[in-house]
A and B are shown apart, each in its own frame.
Chain A
Amino acid sequence: NAGVMQNPRHLVRRRGQEARLRCSPMKGHSHVYWYRQLPEEGLKFMVYLQKENIIDESGMPKERFSAEFPKEGPSILRIQQVVRGDSAAYFCASSPGQGRKETQYFGPGTRLLVL
């Protein structure tokens, strides 16, 4: 039973480019969460999605960041026109449906470096 999968594991972009981070939840999980971890800081919630729906995006920066979780395929976190401050580890987590939503299982993360 594969866990949460994220790719790429490492991503290098130059300022102004776009970054696309992918997350495939665990089998049977329909809830996906994205978190950002800046160096030496804790994990910060960004967005919570279910299939085809954004449930809570209160942690997403207002500009340049977007997320989706289509009916088919992985969840995508997209960062347009990246800046150096976007360099961080981005973790995706998934949880089952009703009754056990609180227990989130994390992917290995994507480490984004903006040059």
Chain B
Amino acid sequence: EDKVVQSPLSLVVHEGDTVTLNCSYEVTNFRSLLWYKQEKKAPTFLFMLTSSGIEKKSGRLSSILDKKELFSILNITATQTGDSAIYLCAPNRDDKIIFGKGTRLHILP
């Protein structure tokens, strides 16, 4: 059975801190791993990772995938209150995305 485990489930930090969100997965026919940010509405796409060891960056966010260890992390540096959201890890298999329960991140001003 496909499994996606995100940790921590929730996290509260102060503005300016750096956070690391973790995602481990067991998915058959793995194709890629996606990260989404969900605020009060729809998830918005952040990254798609297909190869191990290649870091993807977008501003203060970065992510990397380890296909051997079945693991991915999402880093956010110099956090801002606007980063408060649920971050969803989503391995993709055969065009079906399996979502984790997410990490609920709250940034205190």
Interface residues of A (CB under 8 A from B): 4, 31, 33, 35, 41-45, 48, 55-56, 58-59, 91, 101-109
Give the segment of B14-22, B41-49, B65-73 that binds chain A.
Answer: B41-49
- Contacts of A55 on B, CB cut-off 8 Å? 95
**How many Å lie between the Cα of A35 and that of B36 in the bound state?**
14
- Contacts of B34 on A, CB cut-off 8 Å? 102-104
- Contacts of B97 on A, CB cut-off 8 Å? 33, 45, 102, 104
Interface residues of B in 64-105 (CB under 8 A from A): 88, 90, 92, 94-102
- Contacts of B42 on A, CB cut-off 8 Å? 4, 91, 106-109
**How many Å lie between the Cα of A65 and that of B97 in the bound state?**
20
- Contacts of A42 on B, CB cut-off 8 Å? 4, 88, 99-102
Interface residues of B (CB under 8 A from A): 4, 31-32, 34, 36, 41-45, 48, 88, 90, 92, 94-102
A-B CB contact pairs (8 Å), 12 listed: A42-B88, A43-B90, A48-B95, A56-B95, A56-B96, A102-B34, A102-B97, A103-B48, A104-B45, A106-B43, A107-B42, A108-B41
Chain B nearest CB, measured from A106 CB (Å):
4
Chain B nearest CB, measured from A47 CB (Å):
10
Residue of A nearest to B90 (CB): A43
Q: Which of A45, A91, A103 contacts B98 (CB 8 A)?
A: A45
- B95 x A102 contact (CB < 8 A): yes
**How many Å lie between the Cα of A102 and that of B96 in the bound state?**
8
- A102 x B100 contact (CB < 8 A): no
- Contacts of B98 on A, CB cut-off 8 Å? 45
- A102 x B99 contact (CB < 8 A): no
Given A56-B95, A102-B34, A109-B42, check contact A41 B101 (CB 8 Å).
Answer: yes
**How many Å lie between the Cα of A105 and that of B97 in the bound state?**
12
**How many Å lie between the Cα of A66 and that of B100 in the bound state?**
25
